[in-house]
Structure 1
């Protein structure tokens, strides 16, 4: 583990870096914002543990790390007469590292398909590495496309600078670079459409306070951090125009599985006349999931709620610490993907978006 104290000057960080020779370097996002620390992974078990423990976090970043993990495993094996069997345990280990973010299984699906199509065993290590690099680069390009499309929607409503609310963390740290919902805000800021960004602390793990607030400061975007429960007050008093969030998965009917608290924000946004935008790669659309409530949602340890400073306490009652919730499609104004934006999303519109691009 390499680490250093973070200075006040702006820095640009890569959350995932392939070092060559079968080594993957991950930025330990648990240490931010006060310390830059890296974990160098030398085998698949270390990559899987880094995903499970949130050293690397954010669905796209998890998928990219997993893709490099498979490439790493192939380089270490070097040669095999049956590559699918040789890598089966590695695929299973990475697939089991996180259950909600579909980007993880999508990236591993790309790696499986690449492997299945290869006919020359000696080509496998190099070709799998090329596939992992492609997963990484395509995510970065998709983010920029989503950023541009989301910015255009914001500008279409009002040409003047607007107030925008963000939830969770989905910037360059959580993706291949630039960000999804954060990428929309970044593009809007570059276009002169951002007056102020309001960012929630975001339970669990305070990803908004630790990571999004820091990324906003690094990008020079005017922002204010607030506690999660202040969202209604801010919508009522600050003339917020948009809530922009990322999704880890989108059901076939348009329900969005997002960081816990998103559902509440969507209800509040409808009451206050605030537009609600979900930003996610098209790979997050899961047509096999009919409705969002069919997905089992992850919970984290109760200990995260039972700490105050350096002191642990016990409430004497049960504790709930869910990571995600389901926001019904009828509360969403628009879903933005790299393939296009869908206003008032439903099953037909999502299926049409995906089928149109398969044909082209």
Structure 2
């Protein structure tokens, strides 16, 4: 299967597949400038919690490349800049803090830059393995050949490896456990219709795109056997932050008695977050609702409410698939 890559580190530069241009244009950003990578994170040119964390780690390491004076000042400035890019995905802060630990322990050494890059590559490689292990553990949720509905994008475009929820679907399809995939378009930025559909097409998996509001009708018609989505942050009690519209699906699954699963690396579990009420929800610019691909579709003076994520309560989640195991309720991630 032809699986795309969200990002690659090569020749001391980060190569980012610009996801804002997909599926119409495949454009790459090649840079060693941490500020350009910060902008890529903010603009969603690179997106998905694991991919954001990896990109931020590389960016922070690159911040001291070719810097001889005021290294610590430059590093702290870069750390603060990258830390402020997006508030909800915990992987961003994990990646930054892992690089910061190496910096603090080795900042007087001549090979500091190499050590920081090495840690960035380790984070990247760890994610590749986690993606594969998530997919293997995800096979446990299939009881028969199934029609799956998914939301947003959770494939290779969202991670350093082959993806989380979409990787579960890919492997299950290869094992003969997936018949068809329903893809929520995922308003307002259409990550489903632009990105997930693009990946499924590349992999040769049968699918169709539907509006987010069509999910209920698909379930009522008996065309959905289970739902698998990703996560940007998971609280200790299992409450989960994911792309806006996820909570809707969980409520619909509960009503229609359809299993609802989360697939995410254990690094998405925030040990400092007791429950979903502590998760900060990122608010986006209203232009993401009033415009599509920079084309204005309603009056600019109209107000708009544009949260990027919502919170799904743990009691609506059938299971949480990580690289370690498939967790079932009641959830308690204190020892994970």
TM-score tier, shorter chain, comes to over 0.9
**Counterpart in the other structure of 1:106:** 94
Instruction: Give secondary structure in 1 for the equivalent of 2:205.
Output: coil
The CA deviation at 1:67 is 1.0
**Counterpart in the other structure of 2:201:** 217
**Counterpart in the other structure of 1:330:** 315
From the superposition, tell whether residues 109 and 235 of structure 1 become closer, same or farther in structure 2 (CA, over 3 Å): same
- Aligned-residue Cα RMSD (Å) equals 1.8
The CA deviation at 1:317 is 4.4
Instruction: Give secondary structure in 1 for the equivalent of 2:65.
Output: helix
The CA deviation at 1:18 is 1.5
Listed as ranges, the matches of 1:66-215 within 5 Å are 66-77=56-67, 79=68, 84-118=72-106, 121-154=109-142, 158=143, 160-215=144-199
Which one has more relative contact order, counting CA pairs under 8 Å at least 6 apart? 2
1:263 to 247, 260, 272: 247
**Counterpart in the other structure of 1:20:** 11
Q: Are the counterparts in 2 of residues 335 and 345 from structure 1 also a CA contact under 8 Å?
A: no
**Is 1:55 paired with 2:45?**
yes
TM-score normalised according to structure 2 size:
0.94
Instruction: Give secondary structure in 2 for the equivalent of 1:289.
Output: coil
The CA deviation at 1:340 is 1.6
Provide the C-alpha distance between the structure 1 equivalents of 2:299 and 2:276, rounded to a whole number of angstroms: 33
| Segment drifting more, 169-178 vs 86-95 | 86-95
**Counterpart in the other structure of 2:22:** 32
Provide the C-alpha distance between the structure 2 equivalents of 1:315 and 1:125, rounded to a whole number of angstroms: 46
Q: Are the counterparts in 2 of residues 145 and 338 from structure 1 also a CA contact under 8 Å?
A: yes
Q: Are the counterparts in 1 of residues 63 and 74 from structure 2 also a CA contact under 8 Å?
A: no
Instruction: Give secondary structure in 2 for the equivalent of 1:76.
Output: coil
Instruction: Give secondary structure in 1 for the equivalent of 2:188.
Output: coil
Provide the C-alpha distance between the structure 2 equivalents of 1:206 and 1:308, rounded to a whole number of angstroms: 9
Q: Are the counterparts in 2 of residues 342 and 350 from structure 1 also a CA contact under 8 Å?
A: no
Instruction: Give secondary structure in 1 for the equivalent of 2:63.
Output: helix
The CA deviation at 1:12 is 4.4
The CA deviation at 1:85 is 4.2
Unaligned stretches of 5+ residues in structure 1: 1-9, 355-360
Provide the C-alpha distance between the structure 2 equivalents of 1:11 and 1:146, rounded to a whole number of angstroms: 19
Provide the C-alpha distance between the structure 2 equivalents of 1:116 and 1:315, rounded to a whole number of angstroms: 47
Spell out, residue by residue over 1:136-160, the C-alpha distance to the aligned partner (whole angstroms, 9 max, x if none).
1110110110011011222xxx2x3
1:42 to 32, 44, 52: 32
2:326 to 341, 351, 355: 341
Provide the C-alpha distance between the structure 1 equivalents of 2:92 and 2:4, rounded to a whole number of angstroms: 22
TM-score normalised according to structure 1 size:
0.88
Aligned length: 335
Spell out, residue by residue over 1:218-273, the C-alpha distance to the aligned partner (whole angstroms, 9 max, x if none).
11111111000011110111342211010000112110001001111001001111
**Is 1:319 paired with 2:307?**
no
Unaligned stretches of 5+ residues in structure 2: none
Provide the C-alpha distance between the structure 1 equivalents of 2:74 and 2:183, rounded to a whole number of angstroms: 45
1:272 to 246, 256, 259: 256
